[in-house]
A and B are shown apart, each in its own frame.
Chain A
Amino acid sequence: MDVIIENLPAYVDGFLRTLFLSVVSGIFALIFGTLLAAARVSPIAALRGFSMTYVEIVRNTPLTIAFFFAAVVLPRLGVTFQQFEVAAIIALSAYTSAFIAEAVRSGVNSVPVGQAEAARSIGMKFSQVLSLIILPQALRTVIPPMINILIALVKNSSVAGAFYVLELFGTGRQLANANGDAVLWVLVGVAFFYLLITVPLGYFANLVERKVAIAR
């Protein structure tokens, strides 16, 4: 127990970095994932094809490969960054967006087709039908799976620890090395700080879900 209190500053440092990675990657993933889902239902075949291929490839490969691409392959292609955090954010956003896209797509499919027909019949363009009528309804129905994905994102951010980003898990590993006699307590501390993000996220989801539910 002492080991947690003694190293509180290190924990808080790692916690804040994990929080930062999760929030920034989460925002990018939500935006990119929604765009991917929109592309998937668009009338343009090339966009549908791109979205489908992207989701299939990214969703079905390990996150470590996404990290490897962002941290090792991208710099070799001339895309360099000052900090490894950037690579971590790219990898986490790219990976998570594939799952978001699938969740949003299932939400789009749950909106009755009559909603789109009514919107088209008053003269809306495809982009308006999607952004004003379909997505607002679709996003509300997929809040629970969306939060699952974001919780997974928070935990997945621990992979960044293996790519030179000293987030919560990386901090934990350093502390475990330095305190070989108290590894258990070090890990309990790590778990506690993860729960500090993920548990409120779940409660927040319930709250939002009840707030925005639409009756039919």
Chain B
Amino acid sequence: MTTQVPGDALVSLNAVNKHYGQLHVLKDINLNVRKGEVVVVIGPSGSGKSTLCRAINRLETIDDGVIKIDGKELPEEGKELAKLRADVGMVFQSFNLFAHKTILENVTLGPIKVKGISKTEADKDAMALLERVGVGHQAPKLPAQLSGGQQQRVAIARALAMKPKVMLFDEPTSALDPEMINEVLDVMIQLAKEGMTMIVVTHEMGFARKAADRVVFMDGGQIVEDDTPEEFFTNPKSSRAKDFLSKLLTH
């Protein structure tokens, strides 16, 4: 599982560095994610895991190194980048549904405006996706009328509507009330089972155990461990990972 064939990678980061002023947030990051793989990125706050996730569709720029999606290097800001982003689904911690659009419009906007799909077809696809994530009956409502868990499932549907090659999740359950976390995780687990390539930044260890092919542990801007979930949770190698895991288990 951990042996990597570089040419095979759908997402690859090679010697990626980023600074925020003095702070070195990403230190020489190397990561390959193959098609169909589910990689969970965990680590303490400030470890750079969110920055890593956002760098993959260039919501954060990097100082040096190379990031490739499906063999293509991320282009500069502009038309080419927009095109590439359409292939990379992103789910945010704070949902970020378009506040002035209905649930249905949130999902159809990308297919209609970016991909040029007809409204009838986009509506049909969107309804199917909304049904799949369990919020079909909410289609005519505005985002603010939905619960956090429902909004996040809509956000997943919105990303899926673009038929992305890979999905990025940036702490998708961190802003949710505890009782809503599972409804989002269930959708994500289902997605993982269907073979979607996923990079998930999360604090949900249960999800990592259940759905991840690999767990990447970050600390201080570096990837400290990169292993199968079983190996990582039962037999962490670095002291930093051991320390992190022990803190999680004390409560």
For the complex formed, measure the closest distance between the CB of A200 and the CB atoms of chain B, giving whole angstroms: 27
- Does chain B have a CB within 8 A of A43? yes
Q: How far is the CA of A216 from the CA of B144 in the complex (A)?
A: 5
Q: Are A123's CB and B98's CB within 8 A?
A: no
Interface string of A112-133 (1 = CB under 8 A from B): 1011011111111100100011
Q: Are A115's CB and B96's CB within 8 A?
A: yes
- Does chain B have a CB within 8 A of A75? no
- Does chain A have a CB within 8 A of B52? no
Residue of A nearest to B77 (CB): A43
Kindly identify which residue among B92, B109, B114, B158 contacts A117, using a CB–CB cutoff of 8 Å: B92
**Across the interface, which residues of A come within 8 angstroms of B162, CB to CB?**
122-123
Q: How far is the CA of A132 from the CA of B158 in the complex (A)?
A: 16
Q: Are A215's CB and B99's CB within 8 A?
A: yes
Question: Could you tell me how many residues of chain B have their Cβ less than 8 Å away from some Cβ of chain A?
Answer: 32
Q: How far is the CA of A132 from the CA of B162 in the complex (A)?
A: 17
Q: Are B82's CB and A216's CB within 8 A?
A: no
Q: How far is the CA of A125 from the CA of B96 in the complex (A)?
A: 17
Given A117-B59, A215-B144, A216-B144, are A122 and B96 neighbors across the interface (CB < 8 Å)? no
For the complex formed, measure the closest distance between the CB of B245 and the CB atoms of chain A, giving whole angstroms: 31
Majority DSSP secondary structure for residues of A touching B: helix
Q: How far is the CA of A133 from the CA of B106 in the complex (A)?
A: 10
Residue of A nearest to B58 (CB): A120
- Does chain B have a CB within 8 A of A214? yes
* Those 7 A-B pairs whose CB atoms lie nearest each other, nearest first: A123-B86, A215-B144, A118-B96, A122-B110, A114-B96, A121-B90, A123-B114
- Does chain B have a CB within 8 A of A17? no
Interface string of B83-127 (1 = CB under 8 A from A): 111111110101011111000000001100111000000000000
Kindly identify which residue among B82, B86, B98, B145 contacts A118, using a CB–CB cutoff of 8 Å: B98
Residue of A nearest to B109 (CB): A132
Q: Are A128's CB and B92's CB within 8 A?
A: no
Q: How far is the CA of A215 from the CA of B151 in the complex (A)?
A: 14
8 pairs of residues in contact across A and B, judged by CB atoms under 8 Å: A112-B96, A118-B92, A122-B110, A122-B114, A123-B84, A123-B110, A136-B100, A137-B99
- Does chain A have a CB within 8 A of B187? no
Q: How far is the CA of A118 from the CA of B89 in the complex (A)?
A: 10
- Does chain B have a CB within 8 A of A173? no
Q: How far is the CA of A123 from the CA of B88 in the complex (A)?
A: 9
- Does chain B have a CB within 8 A of A140? yes
Instruction: Give the interface size class of chain A.
Output: 20 to 34
For the complex formed, measure the closest distance between the CB of A27 and the CB atoms of chain B, giving whole angstroms: 23
Kindly identify which residue among A120, A136, A137 contacts B82, using a CB–CB cutoff of 8 Å: A120
For the complex formed, measure the closest distance between the CB of B80 and the CB atoms of chain A, giving whole angstroms: 10
**Across the interface, which residues of B come within 8 angstroms of A124, CB to CB?**
82, 110, 113-114
Q: Are B99's CB and A216's CB within 8 A?
A: yes
Given A43-B77, A137-B99, A214-B100, are A132 and B142 neighbors across the interface (CB < 8 Å)? no
Q: How far is the CA of A96 from the CA of B20 in the complex (A)?
A: 40
Q: Are B85's CB and A123's CB within 8 A?
A: yes
Q: Which of A114, A122, A137, A215 has the most CB of B within 10 A?
A: A122
**Across the interface, which residues of B come within 8 angstroms of A120, CB to CB?**
59, 82, 85
Which residues of A, 84-120, contact B by the 8 Å Cβ criterion?
112, 114-115, 117-120
- Does chain A have a CB within 8 A of B57? yes
- Does chain A have a CB within 8 A of B159? yes
**Across the interface, which residues of B come within 8 angstroms of A115, CB to CB?**
96, 98-99
**Across the interface, which residues of A come within 8 angstroms of B90, CB to CB?**
117-118, 121-122
For the complex formed, measure the closest distance between the CB of A134 and the CB atoms of chain B, giving whole angstroms: 10
Residue of B nearest to A123 (CB): B86
Q: How far is the CA of A19 from the CA of B119 in the complex (A)?
A: 41
Q: Are B77's CB and A137's CB within 8 A?
A: no
- Does chain A have a CB within 8 A of B79? yes
Residue of B nearest to A140 (CB): B100
For the complex formed, measure the closest distance between the CB of A131 and the CB atoms of chain B, giving whole angstroms: 10
Interface string of B156-186 (1 = CB under 8 A from A): 0011001000000000000000000000000
Residue of A nearest to B57 (CB): A121
Q: Are B59's CB and A121's CB within 8 A?
A: yes
Which residues of B, 210-234, contact A by the 8 Å Cβ criterion?
none
**Across the interface, which residues of A come within 8 angstroms of B92, CB to CB?**
114, 117-118
Beyond A114-B92, A123-B84, A215-B142, 18 extra complex contacts between A and B, CB < 8 Å: A112-B96, A115-B99, A118-B155, A118-B158, A121-B88, A121-B89, A122-B89, A122-B90, A122-B114, A122-B162, A123-B83, A123-B85, A123-B110, A123-B162, A124-B113, A125-B79, A214-B142, A215-B144
